[in-house]
Chains A and B, each alone.
Chain A
Amino acid sequence: MTSGNSFLTRQELLGLAVVSLLILVVLPASVDIFRLNLIGKYLTYAFVAIGLVLCWGMGGILSLGQGVFFGLGGYCMAMFLKLEASTPEATKIQSTPGIPDFMDWNQLTELPWFWEPFHSFPFTLVAIVALPSLFAFVIGAAMFKRRVGGVYFAIITQAIAAILTILIIGQQGYTGGVNGITDLRTLLGWDIRTDSAKYVLYFVNAGLLIAVIVAAQAVRKSKLGRLLVALRDKEDRVRFSGYDVANFKIFAFCLAAAFSAIGGAMFTLQVGFMSPSFVGIVPSIEMVIYTAVGGRLSIFGAVYGTLLVNWAKTTFSETFPELWLFGLGALFIAVVLVFPNGLAGLYRSYLQPHVDRLLGVKKPADDDEPASDAVPEAAARAAE
């Protein structure tokens, strides 16, 4: 962190203020709890999208398997909640009371060993971040130390997403299979299904998201961030300058995994279940699309991109139940054709000059990536 830049430029401060205002004040004030809960769900994907900005946009590491980490985080939380919901009284109709219902249906008679630690909430909280990071470290170390990168890395992460889905579905006695872990009720005795709980969870989620934005911003501004950009553009040159390239890449990948996992855990809390459909290839690629729509270099763009795509998905599918996939496809094609740099690119070309004049900034200053927040109108549309 010795780059000499101020931590946030004026534009970035403005961007942070706008995004905080939007998710902490405007959205909660303008929509009902059902829609707010949906937006909370969308925002959990924004954690993944921000991770992808760091690792793909800045570091050039395209991961098509971020769903794995989102899923791991979500499953850790779901296991804790499921154990809490499976008290012997609540499950007394089962052949073996006290174990989760799906285990009973699969003729398991005792809790598998790896479920035991999830009785503890502190352990669960640690595991949510630590397990996916550790997994990312193993993958990252195995790949980057051997200088596997680019397309090969993308393919391998995709394969890992596929493998994990098959594993979860195949081991249904231990994981709930294709149904996932459902019917989660309380967190430490607090009913997470009530409207008031949904409000609380939304704000916890929003607070965590802002913390993650700030953390990502800190990384971007640090020497590490500059090195990531450098090794994206000319990896050999960085290596010849004496840096251990692999370690930087591993760090970025682990950080993205940890962000995704936090999103996954918040997803489980807000939606009330976790299933393998968030782990596989399709959701992983969807998450890359959110980042692309937002503009893959922009941390704020990632948040708006996620909101926009998910809002479009929900609205199209509510309006045209049989045709909505075409609408969504058209949106993606339009993004790529018309504004390849995503929402952030639109902002930079049309709005930033005006904002700069207002702020009294002469030029997009000393920034390596002239990225900033996206179009407020798009955000407003996403809020509906």
Chain B
Amino acid sequence: MTEKTRSENAFSLRRRELLAGMASIPMMSMLGGPVRAQDYPTAEVNTTGLAVTDDTVTVGILHSVTGTMAISETGSVQAEKLAIKQINEMGGVLGRKIEFIQEDGASDWPTFAEKAKKLLVNDKVASVMGCWTSASRKAVLPVFEQYNGMLFYPTFYEGLEESPNVIYTGQEATQQIIAGLDWVAKEKGAKSFYLLGSDYIWPRTSNKIARKHIEEHLGAKVVGEEYYPLGHTQFNSVINKIKLKKPDVIYAIVVGGSNVAFYKQLKAAGIDMTKEKPVLLTISVTEDEILGIGGENIVGAYACMKYFQSLDNPNNEAFVAAFKEMWGDDIVIGDVTQAAYLGPWLWKLAVEKAGSFDIDKIKAALPGIEFDKAPEGYVKVHENHHLWSKTRVGRARDDGQYDLVYETADLVEPDPFPEGYQ
């Protein structure tokens, strides 16, 4: 209880300075004056028995806060709670305050399925923000489809999926990969690539797309492709092979704890990424991972994703300030954390557009929803339930942040089933 009060106080302090900063940002729902709950009788906005009362609506948060994934998923939980708090500060959704029920997936995929079912069947939540790994998403997907729930999934992932019951707020593989490869081929004149990654579906699918693009569209060649089990820590042999083959680009999709070993060993083997011979391009290292790797071990590497904490725009300034106010100054914000922040906002906009909490109505309302307060800039929901978003390349600094070096001029269209890349 005391903790809650404290964070609320902190929030309202922050709110004042945030409001000043955000004065220039149009707030869609405020244009027509405050929305009052009595204009939307519960019986009309909730015809399917969701957890909606006259003044509250309940959503679910389903991430791992224990187990090996907790370190990655905590940021998403924090972002979702921040978004919910901000929405409540603005009057909630259809005049109703958002309450949330948080469940722990415990880094265990069957637990995710069990908790998803609990949220949908027992708690009747109006939507769920959650999951991180592809495996957890695959585990809950049948549950969401069977009980007709709505999941906002934040992680960049391999694509090959398009569920009517999921909104994918991260990038699918082609969005994240193709623009980055084009950039490195054009700007750095890259002719040869060495692909490597952790051994599971996301790195493998991503490298498959990368290889097709490199060979068929860039006219360059792939000189090696290797995979290592999750948690692998001995990269010396592949580093030796890289030194032997001298590729222009090391394309790395190493995930989790393996990153720490990989970048330290690269540095120890004398590969200085600041010299760009070879260029290191990754799609799996966000600011969160650099905390573990250590900025000095990865300085000079390039990362390709849609958001960096250092992005220079008013939305992001306000977002970073609010995030630090709520969760402490030492916190860093990675790509997935920002994508998780979008979930509650997109859901709110969809509910308001539909004028209803019914899942089928927000499903119909979601395509075409635009959100211009996103920290990454402007995003839009595609028919295929992914987001149009820009792809950006950043270069790692030794303080653990990225400098933006390139961004696509336009939003990149999501294409979860890319033709010619499968």
Contacts and interface: CB of A to CB of B under 8 A. Distances in A.
Contacts of A34: 117-118, 121-122
Contacts of A166: 229
A321 interface: yes
Interface stretch (B25-33, B42-50, B138-146, B216-224): B138-146
B132 interface: no
Contact of B200 (A178, A182, A184): A178
Contact of B142 (A169, A172, A193): A193
Contacts of B141: 182-183
Interface stretch (B87-95, B103-111, B361-369, B397-405): B103-111
B88 to A, nearest CB: 20
Interface in A171-205: 172, 177-180, 182-185, 193
Contact of A277 (B104, B110, B117, B201): B110
Interface in A22-78: 32, 34, 37-38, 41
Nearest to A322: B65
A102 B201 contact: yes
Given A177-B201, A193-B146, A275-B109, A322 B229 contact: no
Nearest to A102: B201
B357 to A, nearest CB: 21
A169 B229 CA distance: 9
Interface string B114-144: 1101100110000000000011001101100
28 contacts: A32-B122, A34-B117, A37-B117, A41-B114, A93-B417, A95-B422, A105-B158, A105-B204, A106-B201, A107-B208, A166-B229, A172-B201, A172-B204, A178-B200, A179-B138, A180-B109, A180-B135, A183-B141, A193-B146, A271-B113, A273-B113, A277-B108, A278-B110, A314-B114, A317-B103, A317-B111, A318-B115, A321-B103
Interface in B127-170: 134-135, 138-139, 141-142, 146, 158, 160
A41 B283 CA distance: 38
B229 A170 contact: yes
Interface in A122-174: 166, 169-170, 172
B141 to A, nearest CB: 7
A180 B133 CA distance: 13
Contacts of B146: 193
B104 A317 contact: yes
Contacts of A179: 109, 134-135, 138-139, 200-201
Interface in B203-236: 204-205, 208, 229-230
A311 interface: no
Nearest to B107: A277
A324 interface: yes
B29 to A, nearest CB: 30
A322 B66 contact: yes
A105 B202 CA distance: 10
A272 interface: yes
Contacts of B417: 93
A193 B141 CA distance: 13
A89 to B, nearest CB: 17
Q: Number of contact residues on A: which range applies? A: 35 or more
A187 to B, nearest CB: 14
B199 interface: yes
A271 B115 CA distance: 12
B102 interface: yes
Contacts of B134: 179
Given A178-B230, A273-B139, A321 B114 contact: no
Contacts of B106: 317
B201 A273 contact: no
Contacts of B139: 179-180, 182, 273, 275
A321 B65 contact: yes
Given A179-B134, A179-B200, A321-B102, 12 more contacts: A105-B158, A172-B199, A177-B201, A180-B109, A182-B142, A183-B138, A185-B142, A271-B113, A275-B110, A278-B110, A317-B115, A324-B104
Given A179-B138, A322-B66, A172 B110 contact: no
Nearest to A321: B104
B47 to A, nearest CB: 21
A361 interface: no
A185 B145 CA distance: 12
Contacts of A325: 66
A318 B118 contact: yes
Contact of B114 (A38, A95, A183, A275): A38
A318 B117 CA distance: 12
B200 A105 contact: no
A271 B110 contact: yes
B125 to A, nearest CB: 13
B165 to A, nearest CB: 13
B138 A172 contact: no
A325 B204 CA distance: 33
Nearest to B141: A183
Interface string A251-293: 0000000000000000000011101011000000000000000
Nearest to B61: A321
A357 to B, nearest CB: 42
A178 B69 CA distance: 14
Contacts of B118: 34, 318
B79 to A, nearest CB: 17
A169 B231 CA distance: 12
Q: Which 10 A-B pairs have the closest CB atoms?
A: A321-B104, A34-B121, A179-B135, A182-B138, A179-B138, A322-B65, A321-B102, A193-B146, A183-B142, A178-B135
Contacts of B114: 38, 41, 314
Contacts of A272: 113, 142
A106 to B, nearest CB: 7
A134 to B, nearest CB: 26
Contacts of B201: 102, 105-106, 172, 177, 179
Contacts of A193: 142, 146
A179 B200 CA distance: 9
A181 B383 CA distance: 28
Contacts of A275: 109-110, 135, 139
Interface string A89-109: 000010100000010011100
Nearest to B137: A179
B258 to A, nearest CB: 14
